[in-house]
Chain A
Amino acid sequence: MSDLSLENAQSMRTSRRRIRAFDAAVLALLVLALWQAIGSWTKGVAVSPPLQTLVYLFGLLRTGMFWDHAAATLEAFLLAFVLSALIGLALGLIFGVRRFAGDVAEPILAGFYTIPKVTLYPVVLLIFGLGMSAKVAFGIMHGLVPMTMFTLGAVRSLPPVLIRTAKVLRLSPGRTMRWVLVPACLPDIVNGLRLSFSLSLLGVLIGEMFSSQRGLGFLLVNGMAQHNVPLSTAVVTVIVAVAIAANTLMLRVGGRTRRRLASIDPAAE
């Protein structure tokens, strides 16, 4: 009897998975059809159709020019991301443990998160000059706050018994962070990293689109200005693909850390 119901549940699960795969395929086809429709409807002045873009992209990937620009974006982005992640983590832990400082800082951070930071880009340019450091600074302006806020929120919602245990064991602040706070907050930290990743990428790209001579953002705007539609469509495709792939990866990692934490301590779920 129980065997039968188990089998039943399993077959239901596989059929549900099949339906899902089918729906996802339909969706992918719809997106491609829409892309093709816009491409042929506008006769390729705004968007080049999928197949043409793909062919162009393969050609582009073989040019050194593309990798030059991609390397410029990647370098600025990695710097911005790593710095936002580290500084954000440290700030979040400090603000989370020191409640008063956290209460003072949280609305300021939230306010900064919601303002249109693009308008501040000229200031960044005036301070750092045109070039790599301005892009990195702008990426950090976007990526730092979400990392800080997620870490802060995670530390605050920790069961107090963990922090008390650390006190009882007389762990130093550094060790408390290393052995108690960071592991317990890991799922939220991964979430913060995910947001920080996409926002610092956004910051770097906006910087390049507004004023820069290198990078994928520049390549995109330049392609548009020179009416090289396949170029700009190909660049957009690359950025979207990379962004979605990275995000999916981090969602998976986040889910795994959450499950692992739950298997150690069911109350954390």
Chain B
Amino acid sequence: MTRPRAVLLVRIAVLAGLVILLEICCRSGIIDPLTVIPPSNMIASMIDNVGSGDLNESIVNTFSTIILAFVLAIGFGTLAGALIHRSSRLRDVADPLLASYYSVPTFIFYPLLVALLGLGKAPLVVLGVLSAAPAVMISTLSGLDGVPPVLMKLARVQRLGPARTLWWIVLPAALPRLFTGLKLALSYALIGVIAGEFILSGTGLGYAISFAYQSFDNRAMYGLMLFVLLVAVIANGILYVWEGRLARRRSTG
């Protein structure tokens, strides 16, 4: 057995063991069923709740908001990053800001955003963009910094136009770091939107979870939680696998 496979197997065994342990603890009453319900019930509840169709609107709402925030964050972040990269003066101003941006808990602006934009989709999108765009900016900057000067010289020697230089030289060279930004942006947009819905909102999955909690509907709450977490893990997992594939192609090409 090779080492990576052994690592993977042990990892799966650890996770499965934890789930089984939780199941046993819940079933035998060591953990109060009013606190945590057994994992098997969580899965059943997730299938019931999501399959019933009552939540379709919330699900569509939440994910369209996340995708909108994600796309906007990528657009803004890349543009701003490219712009800042061009001017060293802007860079001197932006660097300290970016370095301390994530130390400020963005959520504290959410009540202000709600008061400013109303209780709809808009404050959630803004919150998502506020938490995701700087990560894209940072990774765009580090990606552009990482393009070897010799490649830019090559582009000049070949007399490539700006668009072609971007497509054939800059983008491939900066791709690994850009991808890091993409991954972070997805999870930050997801966290931002769902957390916003959770704290103060009238629609969406986050709200549904908080509503279930406040009406003591533990079964629904755990089912929905599991659903949200599964979607988050799968979305991040897809990007992770994709990134690995790109990296492999780079190393062989």
Interface residues of chain A, those whose CB is within 8 Å of chain B, are 19-20, 23-24, 27, 38, 42, 45-47, 100, 103-104, 107-108, 111, 113-123, 125-127, 194-195, 197-198, 201-202, 205-206, 209-210, 217, 220-221, 223-224, 229, 232-233, 235-236, 239-240, 243-244, 246-248, 251
Q: A114's contact among B34, B103, B232, by CB below 8 Å, is which?
A: B232
B150 within 8 Å of A (CB atoms): no
Contact A122 B209 (CB under 8 A): yes
8 A Cβ contacts from B211-229 to A: 213, 218, 221-222, 224-225, 228-229
Determine the residue in chain A with the shortest Cβ distance to B200.
A221
B206 within 8 Å of A (CB atoms): yes
Given A119-B229, A122-B210, 4 more contacts at CB 8 Å?
A20-B92, A104-B10, A111-B233, A111-B237
Contact B100 A251 (CB under 8 A): yes
What residues of chain B lie closer than 8 Å to A107, measured between beta carbons?
11
Contact B225 A251 (CB under 8 A): no
Closest CB in chain A relative to B248 CB, distance in Å:
17
Complex alpha-carbon distance, A233 and B97, angstroms = 21
Closest CB in chain A relative to B55 CB, distance in Å:
14
What residues of chain B lie closer than 8 Å to A248, measured between beta carbons?
96, 100
**Interface majority SS (helix, strand, loop, mixed), chain A:** helix
What residues of chain B lie closer than 8 Å to A24, measured between beta carbons?
93
What residues of chain A lie closer than 8 Å to B49, measured between beta carbons?
none
Residue among A111, A118, A206, A223 with the most chain B CB within 10 A?
A: A118
Contact A119 B116 (CB under 8 A): no
Contact B103 A23 (CB under 8 A): no
Query: Given A111-B236, A123-B36, A126-B35, are A236 and B225 neighbors across the interface (CB < 8 Å)?
Result: no
Contact A116 B191 (CB under 8 A): yes
Contact A122 B213 (CB under 8 A): yes
Determine the residue in chain B with the shortest Cβ distance to A115.
B232
**Interface majority SS (helix, strand, loop, mixed), chain B:** helix
Determine the residue in chain B with the shortest Cβ distance to A103.
B7
Contact A46 B7 (CB under 8 A): no
Q: Can you list 17 contacts pairing A with B, beta carbon distance less than 8 Å? A: A27-B93, A45-B115, A103-B7, A113-B187, A114-B232, A116-B190, A118-B191, A119-B198, A119-B225, A120-B225, A123-B222, A127-B36, A198-B103, A232-B111, A236-B112, A243-B100, A243-B105
State the 9 A-B residue pairs at the shortest beta-carbon distance, nearest first: A247-B103, A46-B115, A114-B187, A46-B116, A122-B213, A118-B195, A198-B103, A224-B111, A202-B105
Q: A197's contact among B34, B103, B190, B213, by CB below 8 Å, is which?
A: B103
Determine the residue in chain A with the shortest Cβ distance to B187.
A114
Interface residues of chain B, those whose CB is within 8 Å of chain A, are 6-7, 10-11, 14-15, 34-36, 89, 92-93, 96-97, 99-100, 102-105, 107-109, 111-116, 183, 187, 190-191, 194-195, 198-200, 206, 209-210, 213, 218, 221-222, 224-225, 228-229, 232-233, 236-237
What residues of chain B lie closer than 8 Å to A119, measured between beta carbons?
194, 198, 206, 209, 224-225, 228-229
Query: Given A118-B198, A118-B206, are A126 and B112 neighbors across the interface (CB < 8 Å)?
Result: no
What residues of chain B lie closer than 8 Å to A229, measured between beta carbons?
115
Complex alpha-carbon distance, A113 and B210, angstroms = 21
Closest CB in chain B relative to A101 CB, distance in Å:
9
Contact B232 A198 (CB under 8 A): no
What residues of chain A lie closer than 8 Å to B103, measured between beta carbons?
194, 197-198, 243-244, 246-247
Query: Given A108-B15, A120-B225, are A206 and B115 neighbors across the interface (CB < 8 Å)?
Result: no
Closest CB in chain A relative to B65 CB, distance in Å:
13
What residues of chain A lie closer than 8 Å to B116, measured between beta carbons?
38, 42, 45-47
Complex alpha-carbon distance, A100 and B6, angstroms = 9
Complex alpha-carbon distance, A222 and B46, angstroms = 33
Contact B105 A221 (CB under 8 A): no
Residue among A209, A246, A248 with the most chain B CB within 10 A?
A: A209
Closest CB in chain A relative to B3 CB, distance in Å:
8
Contact B93 A118 (CB under 8 A): no
Closest CB in chain A relative to B88 CB, distance in Å:
10
Query: Given A108-B15, A122-B209, are A221 and B111 neighbors across the interface (CB < 8 Å)?
Result: yes
